[in-house]
Structure 1
Amino acid sequence: MSKLIIKSLQELEQYEGKEMGISDYHTITQEQINKFADATVDHQWIHLDAERAKTETPFGATIAHGYLTVSLLPYLWSQIATIENLKMQVNYEIESLRFNQAVTVNSRVRLRAKLLSVKNLRGIAKTQIEVTLEIENSKKPAYTGVITFLYHFNE
């Protein structure tokens, strides 16, 4: 499936109730985990200490912070759809987010997205998107949930 280019509220409404697509895979590296730990001041050893994580966790390796994987949503979503003709886009809400499985270092993840609803709030599109972060070669996703973006269109 190729990347969607959406230029108006009316075009966006055409995708309501439909799967929008799947992003490319993104590899979670230890460097990315370390930088996220520094940025969030979350230096728990399960994220940073490879030797200890190998022997003392059921994961057998360090794991990405759950919020690191959530922070990838805008990046991965932008690989699925580009919304053009905007004044502004706002991350509005995350609901029903459930972490299902830890993402170990060097795992590859990708986003699957379905547009659940679009509401026109006086020219602002309130979109609810069902998201699933898939882990390559795993039947269980890293997480599932519903995110809401507000798109302020120019027209």
Structure 2
Amino acid sequence: MPTTHLDSTAALAQHLGQEIAVGDWVEVGPERVRRFADATDDHQWIHLDAERAAAESPYGGTIAHGLLTLSLIVALVQQAVVIDGVRMTVNYGFDKVRFPSAVPVGARVRARVAVGAAEAAKDGSMQVTWRVTIEREGGDKPAVVADWIVRLYA
């Protein structure tokens, strides 16, 4: 699906409460999962040991770290939404993060992006709450649901 293109941060106000973009599918492959495990020192077998995960986990195989899937929110939203005039985006935090379903290693995910809030901040930036649902291809429940708060600087 094409990227949503807005001509300014002010245009966000016209889309409050609306889904504005659905991104492209991105694979969460074993190499990405391994690199994330190395970066975070989270080497739990359910993420890395395919044989053991197939035998012992309730998922029938290895799954991506929930925090890996959450961390993809940056790239997935940036791929789906482009706003002219924004020179810098700063992560301000998250509200209501949930992991309703696992992402099997090798699965593809994408973001559905809605505008939850958009208001001018005292520092001159625009504070935006993106309501993001990361869905897994073929899944019946989202992998991640989160309100992601960012500051957009023109």
Query: 1:135 and 2:147 equivalent?
Result: no
Q: Identity of aligned pairs, percent?
A: 40
2:129–2:147 Cα contact (<8 Å) kept: yes
Aligned CA RMSD, in angstroms, stands at 1.3
Query: 1:124 and 2:125 equivalent?
Result: yes
Once the 2 structures are TM-superposed, how far is the Cα of residue 17 of structure 1 from its aligned partner? Answer: 1.9
Unaligned stretches of 5+ in structure 1?
none
Q: For residues 48-59 of structure 1, what are the structure 2 equivalents within 5 Å?
A: 48-59=48-59
Greater mean deviation of Cα atoms: 64-73 or 76-85: 76-85
Summarize deviations over 1:77-131 as a string: whole Å, max 9, x none.
0121112312421011111001111111111111111101101124311101111
For residues 10 and 105 of structure 1, what CA distance do their matches in structure 2 show?
39
For residues 30 and 6 of structure 2, what CA distance do their matches in structure 1 show?
35
Tell me which amino acid in the other structure corresponds to 1:5: H
Once the 2 structures are TM-superposed, how far is the Cα of residue 2 of structure 1 from its aligned partner? Answer: 2.8
Query: 1:70 and 2:80 equivalent?
Result: no
Q: How many corresponding residue pairs?
A: 153
Q: Which residue of 1 aligns with 2:85?
A: 85
For residues 87 and 33 of structure 1, what CA distance do their matches in structure 2 show?
30
2:92–2:151 Cα contact (<8 Å) kept: yes
For residues 77 and 87 of structure 1, what CA distance do their matches in structure 2 show?
16
Q: For residues 6-25 of structure 1, what are the structure 2 equivalents within 5 Å?
A: 6-25=6-25
Unaligned stretches of 5+ in structure 2?
none
Q: Which residue of 1 aligns with 2:149?
A: 148
For residues 140 and 24 of structure 1, what CA distance do their matches in structure 2 show?
18
For residues 9 and 33 of structure 1, what CA distance do their matches in structure 2 show?
34
Tell me which amino acid in the other structure corresponds to 1:108: R
Q: Where has structure 1 moved over 6 Å in runs of 4 or more?
A: none
Once the 2 structures are TM-superposed, how far is the Cα of residue 47 of structure 1 from its aligned partner? Answer: 0.6
TM normalised by structure 2 equals: 0.94
Once the 2 structures are TM-superposed, how far is the Cα of residue 29 of structure 1 from its aligned partner? Answer: 0.6
